[in-house]
Structure 1
């Protein structure tokens, strides 16, 4: 009785499809960029902002600094690192102590910084309490190269409709730009504005959290 032989080699059309699929998979593996978590320096309300640290971040030459906090930071989809020189402002006449620098390779370079700019309710009017941090930010922008561009990003929480929050975030970003131009004489051409509404929440698990309401700045 003869032994029946089975041909295990794929037929030519099947082999062609197999090789094509394999080639596409390999190309995707090599060409897809590695996604890295963005690192943003986040200041809390009342924390001191150093103009030199602002210039370092917006000039893309920053070092990561640990942020003074009462407890561990909550996990977020965006990796937030420590703010530079961010000891809480105190009423004491003694200058606030600077936060110790973390090793340069511990957190890597930050790509942006975030301020908890407060606005009047349902408005783009900047409240006086927010001006101190914005004033320090302006001094940092002045340390950058004259042709450098800074993007001002408006972000809201998830209270209200998507359309409403998008419009509000744009108006608030423009209000911050106008403050920097009118109060500090920064060339308006150097400041771009964009609003993201509630699309980029810091705390997606708590979409109405105050930390989601912020203005971020990045250099280019």
Structure 2
């Protein structure tokens, strides 16, 4: 094989390794489908049964959090919210901010727009969502906690201002580095994310 052929082959190999990464870019439709209320399969012939509603106690708890800032939520409240959200439809969005910044730009802004368009879909009207900020493991617990709160608030503020979503239906919360997505790589980019959770819908498997 000639030197030119080797170079061409090498270039093709590089392109083949790059393309799959771009193909994995999240879409608005993926977000929407992940957050839609889950239907249970009806035992009788006809339409699927409505998604089961959240427990009344959970609804009452969520109502106490509306219009509260993420900084106002205590550690106990954050932990309870985590439990309430555990079985609900959710979607993780990569959010690459500048170091110690909560300014939405670049890919973070693009993903915030995709989230905004998904949450604006009529199929998700009147739903209540958690907007949870997460950081990687760099830095102290306290610094990361505050940073995750600021970033969650930045996403919520953007959704309210740009997509006119009701502020009371978006509950911002920060979890700092306490809930790493990839514990095997604590500083990995996948840990720097914002998670949206359809809070008052229960995710169930069809029967």
Same fold, judged at TM 0.5 (above): yes
Q: Is 1:146 aligned with 2:125?
A: yes
Gaps of 5+ in 1: 1-42, 63-108
Q: After TM superposition, where is structure 1 displaced by more than 6 Å over at least 4 residues in a row?
A: 43-46
Between 1 and 2, higher relative CO (CA 8 Å, sep ≥ 6) is seen in 2
CA contact (8 A) 2:149 2:175 kept: yes
The structure 2 residue matched to 1:191, chosen from 170, 176, 201, is: 170
What residue is the counterpart of 2:51 in the other structure? none
CA contact (8 A) 1:57 1:112 kept: yes
TM-score by length of 2: 0.57
Gaps of 5+ in 2: 1-20, 40-86, 200-207
How many residues of Structure 1 are paired with residues of Structure 2 in the alignment?
A: 131
Aligned alpha-carbon RMSD (Å): 2.5
What residue is the counterpart of 1:156 in the other structure? 135
TM-fit CA distance, 1:46: 7.3
CA contact (8 A) 1:150 1:217 kept: yes
Greater share of residues in helix: 2
Distance in 1, matches of 2:22 and 2:103, equals 19
What residue is the counterpart of 1:100 in the other structure? none
* Structure with max Cα Rg: 1
TM-score by length of 1: 0.54
